[in-house]
């Protein structure tokens, strides 16, 4: 039995399934399956829009009674605890049995519970014949406060997508230096700042840049926004995210798109590009190799699909 330190549970709309898998690949070096993932990599759930919970495994056993004995032997003394049953793929345990197992765990802890305002939440679950017990860490969804940003566009990228793009661009780097190459009102920048990443933005619209700065200041985030053409930046970045213009509020020709991508390759060798059109030729002409790709459709609008391209410059 392979031991894992963490068990992650995911939640997302079916339209975001491929994006969630792509994000988990760059965060964990493996793709989540059936909305769950076992890993030895510790990720704060609120870093992702798709991670619902993380179970920090304390004990595990392929024998349920042995697991309960392990819990008792640990003589846990945390007052105000709560126990939750986490349902993983393939778990056919009925509700009545789950309640019984919650009682088993609760009676194995030597302090008083608090079901309404717990100081700590423990979890129990089973997967492929193995029982797990641990501490449940939940996504606090505080990042959803960004929905109330002062400035936004109706076609702005969704928060879930923005957070995923940041994580894909950063991958497993500890302190990546990121660029939002067509930052708009700063939706992607807000999610990067929330996670604690260093990010800068760039846009050719003076008004849009000011709106992005106002959104960042509203949440006390410190990040530089350059009012400039991407080709005029002379800094270097670990990765760049390009949410290409959709020809709605920011008209752009095929040549404009090609120039944006090509100019960005001069300041980074790693690009995460979002488009609504096929841009394979522009990517090829910019000297990039596509490492990964996925589609993200808009719920209720099957004809509107964003394409996510993960690229690196060819050596």
| pLDDT number for residue 245 | 84
Burial 268-294 (b: 16+ CB within 10 A, else e): bbbbbbbbeeebeebbeebebeeeeeb
35: number of Cβ within 10 Å: 17
- What are the pLDDT digits (tens) for 177-189? 999 999 999 999 9
Residues 127 and 213 in one domain: no
Task: Please answer whether residues 277 and 304 qualify as being in contact, where contact means their C-beta atoms are separated by less than 8 angstroms.
Answer: no
Residues 101 and 191 in one domain: no
| pLDDT number for residue 114 | 95
| pLDDT number for residue 251 | 61
Task: Please answer whether residues 139 and 195 qualify as being in contact, where contact means their C-beta atoms are separated by less than 8 angstroms.
Answer: no
**Residue ending a domain, choose from 118, 138, 158:** 138
Residue-number span of the structural domain to which 22 is assigned? 6-138
- What are the pLDDT digits (tens) for 62-76? 999 999 999 999 999
Task: Please answer whether residues 88 and 127 qualify as being in contact, where contact means their C-beta atoms are separated by less than 8 angstroms.
Answer: yes
CATH code of the domain covering residue 105? 3.30.2130.30
- What are the pLDDT digits (tens) for 239-271? 999 999 865 455 678 899 999 999 999 999 999
**Residue ending a domain, choose from 138, 168, 194:** 138
pLDDT band at 127 (very low <50, low <70, confident <90, very high): very high
**Residue ending a domain, choose from 75, 109, 138:** 138
| Predicted TM-score (pTM) of this structure | 0.93
Mean of the per-residue pLDDT values of the chain = 94
Angle between helices 64-73 and 95-107 (to 10 degrees): 30
Residues 165 and 233 in one domain: yes
* Average pLDDT score over residue span 78-95: 95
- What are the pLDDT digits (tens) for 6-22? 999 999 999 999 999 99
Classify residue 1: in a domain, yes or no.
no
| pLDDT number for residue 1 | 46
Angle between helices 159-170 and 17-28 (to 10 degrees): 30
| pLDDT number for residue 155 | 75
Residues 167 and 90 in one domain: no
Classify residue 207: in a domain, yes or no.
yes
pLDDT band at 154 (very low <50, low <70, confident <90, very high): confident
Nearest-angstrom CA–CA distance, 268 and 10: 31
């Amino acid at each position: 039995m392979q031991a894992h330190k963490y068990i992650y549970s995911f939640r997302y709309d079916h339209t975001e399934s491929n994006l969630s898998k792509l994000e988990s690949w760059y965060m964990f070096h493996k793709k989540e399956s059936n909305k769950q993932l076992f890993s030895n990599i510790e990720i704060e759930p609120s870093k992702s829009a798709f991670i619902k919970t993380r179970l920090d495994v304390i004990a595990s056993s392929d024998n349920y009674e042995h697991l309960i004995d392990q819990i008792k032997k640990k003589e846990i003394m945390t007052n105000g605890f709560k126990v939750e049953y986490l349902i993983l793929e393939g778990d056919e345990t009925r509700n009545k049995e789950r309640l019984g197992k919650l009682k088993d765990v609760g009676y194995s802890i030597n302090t008083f519970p608090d079901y309404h305002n717990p100081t700590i939440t423990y979890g129990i679950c089973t997967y492929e014949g193995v029982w797990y017990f641990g501490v449940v860490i939940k996504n606090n969804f505080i990042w959803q406060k960004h929905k109330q940003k002062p400035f936004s566009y109706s076609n702005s990228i969704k928060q879930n997508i923005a957070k995923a793009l940041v994580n894909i661009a950063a991958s497993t780097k500890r302190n990546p230096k990121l660029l939002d190459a067509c930052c708009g009102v700063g939706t992607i920048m807000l999610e990067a700042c929330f996670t604690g990443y260093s990010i800068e933005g760039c846009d050719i619209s003076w008004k849009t840049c000011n709106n992005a700065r106002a959104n960042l200041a509203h949440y006390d985030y410190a990040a530089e926004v350059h009012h400039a053409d991407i080709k005029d930046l002379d800094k270097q970045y670990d990765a760049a995210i390009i949410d290409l213009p959709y020809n709605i509020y920011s008209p752009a020709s095929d040549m404009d798109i090609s120039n944006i991508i090509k100019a960005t390759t001069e300041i980074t060798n790693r690009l995460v590009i979002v488009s609504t059109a096929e841009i394979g030729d522009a990517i090829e002409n910019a000297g990039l190799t596509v490492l990964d790709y996925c589609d993200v459709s808009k719920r209720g609008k099957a004809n509107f699909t964003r394409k996510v391209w993960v690229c690196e410059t060819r050596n």
